[in-house]
Every structure is written in structure tokens, then in C-alpha cells.
């Protein structure tokens, strides 16, 4: 299906009646009633606001600037620094993945591109030094707006004990070791025990495992935050369980990340439950075949079975624990505010070899408990609607955690016409890209393709001449100048030159300690570079 049905609330259904005075164009319009003569677009620049400066935002901007003549792109970013999850999500030991920043720098060096950093749209800035602009103000000064602000929340498990000390969200942990200001003060305590549990079997879970298992001296040379190096070098974690409800044939991780863990010197991998792997793996399609192959290989470093964790130089090891669903985080009897173990119930699969199989809890009361002073919840990121979406009638699917769209990034929803038939309502000039469009999955390459398809849809619409955009009734719009004109007192805006100065300062800090970069982890420190 191209179209995402919103089955929960339909806040926009009647909202335009109440809110017509606020922004009348925000009623969803059935697309066939729209008409705008093409000639009105000739000669005028296409003004595009991009909300969010991660890969989705940059790749959309890039494609829009190559596909639409005279496109002027203004990119808004809540932090003083750009690149979103490329900077704050990609693991520090994956510098090659960050090479896409070179492309983003090219985009930003165009005279038709403006970076507006340290400005949050529609939602209060999450750091004290940042400014906020209402979305409504953006909508007055552009022809189109692309929402590419990603997924800033994480999913929770909703089980008892989730808030005891020692239970962390993988998203926060990743933000912490990558120097994200929001989580710079997380200060995870890795010294309370030698076993750690990671709940979830995606690539973020494997990143967290690698950070816990990798030699700190290898990480030291990366752009990992200095506070993370300090904490990781004191870590007592020796044994990492990566736990999933389903089996290897259903797991979300990819082979590259598994191979990296297997290649860690003197880190052992405990064999997986082979009953969950099809007998005849040769007949599997290529990707699962290669993945099963590597999972069945013997660990280059065989695990030793010295159960009492007494030796100081105990071997580090990891395992993939399948068919376990978490039911509770158990506090320590000695200190009820602190985690001691994680409790699971065993599951069974509808079909162990079907990649789409689902897990069912088993009926026998046979809980499985893993002692763990440390647990990470890594069950996915989540996008949230901007606060102004509801009053403006912009549809957000809570069920899918995405802005409702046609699969190519055009914001739309189904609505019931007067004759009771269903039709599609468009939101002129509104587009989305990246995780807020398709959900929080996939690598940068998938986000790139996805951003390109949004930009292509937008370019088609603009070239078509009949498709409505924002503010296209002959009035010229001012973009960032217009937004600024509405009053921006006290807001400290970081432009691209400002970012380059912060970038240089970070590289200089890094050079002093033999790293490529030493990130500023406080927005105040970033802004201090600019005087």
C-alpha cells in the first residue's frame, strides 16, 4: 500500500472549522480541485524549508536543488551543529559511514542554500541556548516545507522496573558516547557488575554491544566523546547478552555488524541455538544464507567457561539469546533503586524459519533470569508529531509513528467526501522524508533513496503547475528573510560559517589528543566558539 491509513484519532477531521481563522490553507484539499497556472511560477525562486539537518534533510535538499530550477533551500536545525544521526548516531568506529558529510558540505556551499542552526521549529528547543520559531511562521514564508526531523524518542517496553538505576535506553547511550548535548550527562555506571543485557537485536543493539566489548584504545582514536572513553575504560562489563523475542531468521541486525563483533580481537562469541537455523541453508536466498553461515561459524576466540567472575582479566564474550521476551527488571534486594537482574519469559515462533514469523509467549511458567547490573532497551526509535501538527490539522499516524503520506513523501490523508466515498486530501506544499516518513529503519543508503523520492515528487508537483503549493497565489515569499522579519529577538542563529568555525575548533581540540575531532558536548561551548 502506498497510503498510510490513520486508524486512531483523526484530529484534522473537523479541526479546520475551528482553526480556519488561523491558517485557512491548512484544510486538506482534495487534489483534483486545485489549479494554479504554471506561468505564475516562472521566474520566481522555489522557496523550500527543510526541517532537520540529518541525511534525510540534506539528501532531499541536494536532490531538490538539482531537480528544481532556481530552488532556494533554507535548512533549520535545533542544534548549533548539523548532520543529525550522522554525527550523533553513527558509531564512532564507523568513520567511513560519515563520509556522506562531504556531500552535505557541497550542498551547503551552494549560494542557494542557507543553514539556520540553533533554531527549533514549533517545539521548544531542548537546550537552553536555542531559539524557537513557530511552524506557522515557516508556513507563511515558503512554497514548500519538508519535514525531515527524524525520530527523537525511543520506544519503551512498558514492563515493571524500567526506571530503576542501571536500565538505559540504547538511544540515550548512543547519544551519550557520540556527544549529543541532550544526553551528555547520562553518566552510565558500568562498574556494578560484569554482565550486561541488551534487549533488542537490531544494529543499534550491536553498536552498543561493540562499544562495551571493543578495546578502549581503539575507540580512543575515534571521535567518541571524551567522557565516554573515561567511563568505558572503567567498565567492568565482560559478558554481553543481546536478547530478542524471535530467532536468527527474524533478527533485524545485518551481517556487517555481526562480522565486526566476530572480528573483535580476543572477544568470544557463544554459539547460537542451531535448532533455529534451517537445516538446508544452501537453499535460502542470498542474504539470509550468508547471515546464517556466519552465525554458525565457530568463534575465532573460543569462549572459556570460567563461571565465577573472580579473575581480574576475565575474557570478554557475547551471545545472541533468542526466544526471550522481557517481563521485568528486577531490583537488587540490597539496593531496591538499582538493577540486579532481567527477567524473561520464553517464547515460541509461529514458524522458526519464516522471516515474518511472530513470537508467542509460552504457556509453561518457566521464567528465565539473567543477572545483570546493566540493561539497555534497544527496541527502536520513535518519531513524534510537532506540537503544532494537531491544531494545524497535519496528520500524524501514531500507529506507524510517521507523518501520513503517499509513500513518496507527499503529506496526505484519506477523508470522506460528502457522498460518503473516500478520497485523498492533499496538504499543499507539505512533504516529509527519512524516518519521519517511513519509520525508524534502514541505513543511510535507504534514507538517501527515500529522500530522493520525496524531492522527485516535489519537483514533479512544482513542474506540473496545477498542483498547489503554499503561498502560490502570486505573492512572492521571502524564505528566511521573511521569517526573520517576524521578530527573532534573543535568538542566536548559527549559520554555515558559524558551524565551520565550530567544526575547526573541534578538529583542533581533537588534534591535541590524537583524535580526528573532540566534539563539544554542550551547546554553550559550541556557541562560545563564535564569541
Partner 1 sequence: MPNPKMFAQLLPSLRLAPKRSSSTIARHVQCYTKPGASPLPSSPARPVQSPVRRSPWLASLQTRTFSVSAAVSHGHVDPPKPGEELYVTFIDKEGAEHKLAVSKGDNLLDIAQAHDLEMEGACGGSCACSTCHVIVTDQEYYDKMPEPDDDENDMLDLAFGLQETSRLGCQIVMAPELDGLRVKLPAMTRNLQSSDFK
Among 11, 36, 44, 112, binds partner 1 (CB under 8 A): 112
| 264 part of the interface to partner 1, by CB under 8 A | no
| 350 part of the interface to partner 1, by CB under 8 A | no
Size of the site for partner 1 (CB under 8 A): 49
Query: Annotated binding residue at 216?
Result: no
Q: Is the CB of residue 210 less than 8 Å from the CB of residue 218?
A: no
Among 7, 70, 156, 311, binds partner 1 (CB under 8 A): 70
Stretch that binds partner 1, among 286-294, 327-335, 339-347, 385-393 (CB under 8 A): 286-294
Query: Cβ 468 to partner 1, closest distance in Å?
Result: 18
User: What residues between 202 and 261 interact with partner 1 by CB under 8 A?
Assistant: 254-256, 259
Q: Is the CB of residue 266 less than 8 Å from the CB of residue 316?
A: yes
Among 444, 477, 494, 527, binds partner 1 (CB under 8 A): 444
| 450 part of the interface to partner 1, by CB under 8 A | yes
Query: Cβ 445 to partner 1, closest distance in Å?
Result: 5
Give the span between the Cα atoms of 177 and 92, in whole angstroms.
8
Stretch that binds partner 1, among 188-196, 387-395, 449-457, 483-491 (CB under 8 A): 449-457
User: Where do the DSSP E strands lie in 355-483?
Assistant: 359-361, 368-371, 374-377, 381-382, 396-397, 402-403, 410-416, 422-432
Residue 154 or 450 with smaller CB distance to partner 1: 450
Stretch that binds partner 1, among 16-24, 190-198, 419-427, 434-442 (CB under 8 A): 434-442
Query: Cβ 209 to partner 1, closest distance in Å?
Result: 17
* Phi, psi at 81, each rounded to 5°: -120, 145
Query: Annotated binding residue at 245?
Result: yes
Q: Which three cell numbers stand for residue 412?
A: 496526505
Stretch that binds partner 1, among 267-275, 314-322, 373-381, 459-467 (CB under 8 A): 459-467
Query: Annotated binding residue at 232?
Result: no
Stretch that binds partner 1, among 147-155, 326-334, 376-384, 440-448 (CB under 8 A): 440-448
- The candidate with the shortest Cα–Cα distance to 493, out of 124, 104, 80, is 80
| 438 part of the interface to partner 1, by CB under 8 A | yes
For 162, left (φ over 0), alpha (ψ -120 to 50), or beta? alpha
Query: Annotated binding residue at 116?
Result: no
Query: Annotated binding residue at 257?
Result: yes
Stretch that binds partner 1, among 273-281, 336-344, 453-461, 480-488 (CB under 8 A): 453-461
| 109 part of the interface to partner 1, by CB under 8 A | yes
Give the span between the Cα atoms of 84 and 447, in whole angstroms.
13
Q: Which three cell numbers stand for residue 7?
A: 486508524
For 80-145, give the DSSP string: SS--HHHHHTS-TT-GGGGGHHHHHHHHHTSTTEEEEESEEESS--SSTT-EEE-HHHHHHS-SEE
Given the C-alpha cell 508556513, which residue does it identify?
A: 139
Query: Annotated binding residue at 403?
Result: no
Give the span between the Cα atoms of 121 and 149, in whole angstroms.
10
Residue 206 or 459 with smaller CB distance to partner 1: 459
Query: Annotated binding residue at 291?
Result: no
Site string for partner 1, 397-416 (x = CB under 8 A): ---x-x----xx--------
Give the span between the Cα atoms of 1 and 5, in whole angstroms.
9
Query: Annotated binding residue at 460?
Result: no
- The candidate with the shortest Cα–Cα distance to 164, out of 192, 204, 201, is 192
Q: Is the CB of residue 352 less than 8 Å from the CB of residue 361?
A: no
For the beta carbon of residue 281, count every other beta carbon within 10 angstroms. Answer: 16
Among 163, 286, 313, 512, binds partner 1 (CB under 8 A): 286
| 65 part of the interface to partner 1, by CB under 8 A | yes
What's the chain's length in residues? 531
User: Where do the DSSP E strands lie in 78-166?
Assistant: 113-117, 119-121, 131-133, 144-147, 153-154
Query: Cβ 99 to partner 1, closest distance in Å?
Result: 3
Going from the C-alpha of 272 to that of each of 124, 241, 294, 324, 352, the distances in angstroms are 46, 12, 11, 13, 14
| 439 part of the interface to partner 1, by CB under 8 A | yes
Q: Where are the alpha helices (DSSP H) in 162-321?
A: 170-177, 203-213, 216-219, 226-233, 255-263, 286-296
Query: Annotated binding residue at 435?
Result: yes
* Phi, psi at 363, each rounded to 5°: -80, -30
Give the span between the Cα atoms of 327 and 395, in whole angstroms.
34
Enumerate the known binding-site residues for NADP(+).
201-204, 245-246, 257, 442
What residue ranges bind partner 1 (CB under 8 A)? Answer: 1-2, 4, 62, 65-67, 69-70, 94, 96-97, 99-100, 102-103, 106, 109-110, 112, 254-256, 259, 286-287, 290-291, 400, 402, 407-408, 438-439, 441, 443-446, 448-450, 452-453, 456-457, 459-460, 463
Amino acid at each position: 500500500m502506498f497510503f498510510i491509513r490513520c486508524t486512531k484519532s483523526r484530529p484534522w477531521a473537523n479541526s479546520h472549522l475551528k482553526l480556519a481563522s488561523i491558517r485557512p490553507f491548512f484544510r486538506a484539499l482534495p487534489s483534483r480541485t486545485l489549479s494554479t497556472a504554471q506561468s505564475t511560477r516562472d521566474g520566481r525562486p522555489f522557496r523550500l524549508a527543510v526541517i532537520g539537518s540529518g541525511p534525510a534533510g540534506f539528501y532531499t535538499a541536494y536532490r531538490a536543488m538539482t531537480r528544481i530550477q532556481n530552488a532556494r533551500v533554507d535548512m533549520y536545525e535545533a542544534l548549533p551543529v548539523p548532520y543529525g544521526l550522522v554525527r550523533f548516531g553513527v558509531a564512532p568506529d564507523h568513520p567511513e559511514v560519515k563520509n556522506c558529510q562531504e556531500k552535505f558540505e557541497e550542498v551547503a556551499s551552494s549560494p542557494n542554500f542557507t543553514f539556520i542552526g540553533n533554531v527549533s521549529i514549533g517545539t521548544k528547543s531542548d537546550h537552553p541556548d536555542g531559539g524557537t520559531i513557530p511552524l506557522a511562521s515557516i508556513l507563511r514564508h515558503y512554497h514548500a516545507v519538508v519535514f525531515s526531523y527524524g525520530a527523537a524518542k525511543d520506544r519503551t517496553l512498558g514492563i515493571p522496573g524500567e526506571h530503576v538505576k542501571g536500565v538505559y535506553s540504547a538511544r540515550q547511550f548512543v547519544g551519550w558516547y557520540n556527544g549529543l548535548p541532550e544526553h551528555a550527562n547520562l553518566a552510565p555506571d558500568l562498574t556494578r557488575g560484569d554482565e550486561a543485557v541488551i534487549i533488542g537485536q537490531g544494529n543499534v543493539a550491536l553498536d552498543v554491544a561493540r562499544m562495551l566489548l571493543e578495546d578502549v584504545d581503539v575507540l580512543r582514536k575515534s571521535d567518541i566523546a571524551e567522557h565516554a572513553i573515561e567511563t568505558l575504560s572503567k567498565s567492568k562489563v565482560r559478558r554481553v547478552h543481546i536478547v530478542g523475542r524471535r530467532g536468527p531468521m527474524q533478527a533485524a541486525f545485518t551481517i556487517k555488524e555481526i562480522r565486526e563483533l566476530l572480528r573483535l580481537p580476543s572477544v568470544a562469541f557463544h554459539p547460537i541455538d542451531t535448532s533455529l537455523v534451517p537445516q538446508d541453508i544452501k537453499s535460502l536466498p542470498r542474504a539470509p544464507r550468508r547471515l546464517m553461515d556466519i552465525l554458525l561459524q565457530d568463534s575465532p576466540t573460543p569462549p572459556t567457561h570460567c563461571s565465577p567472575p573472580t579473575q581480574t582479566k576475565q575474557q570478554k564474550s557475547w551471545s545472541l539469546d533468542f526466544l526471550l521476551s522481557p517481563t521485568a527488571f528486577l531490583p537488587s534486594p540490597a539496593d531496591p533503586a538499582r538493577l540486579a537482574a532481567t527477567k524473561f519469559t520464553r517464547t515460541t515462533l509461529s514458524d522458526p524459519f519464516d522471516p515474518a514469523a511472530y513470537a508467542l509467549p509460552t504457556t509453561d511458567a518457566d521464567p528465565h533470569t539473567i543477572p545483570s547490573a546493566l540493561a539497555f532497551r534497544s527496541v527502536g526509535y520513535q518519531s513524534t508529531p510537532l506540537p503544532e501538527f494537531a491544531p494545524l490539522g497535519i496528520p500524524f499516524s501514531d500507529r506507524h509513528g510517521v507523518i501520513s503520506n503517499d509513500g513518496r513523501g507527499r503529506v496526505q490523508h484519506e477523508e470522506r467526501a460528502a457522498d460518503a466515498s473516500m478520497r485523498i486530501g492533499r496538504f499543499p506544499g507539505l512533504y516529509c522524508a527519512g524516518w519521519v516518513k517511513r519509520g525508524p529503519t534502514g541505513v543511510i543508503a535507504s534514507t538517501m533513496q527515500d529522500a530522493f523520492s520525496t524531492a522527485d515528487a516535489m519537483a514533479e508537483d512544482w513542474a506540473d503547475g496545477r498542483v498547489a503549493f503554499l503561498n502560490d497565489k502570486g505573492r512572492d515569499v521571502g524564505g528566511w528573510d521573511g521569517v526573520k522579519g517576524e521578530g527573532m529577538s534573543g535568538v542566536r542563529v548559527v549559520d554555515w560559517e558559524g558551524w565551520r568555525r565550530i567544526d575547526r575548533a573541534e578538529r583542533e581540540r581533537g588534534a591535541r589528543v590524537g583524535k580526528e575531532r573532540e566534539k563539544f558536548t554542550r551547546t554553550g561551548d559550541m556557541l562560545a566558539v563564535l564569541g
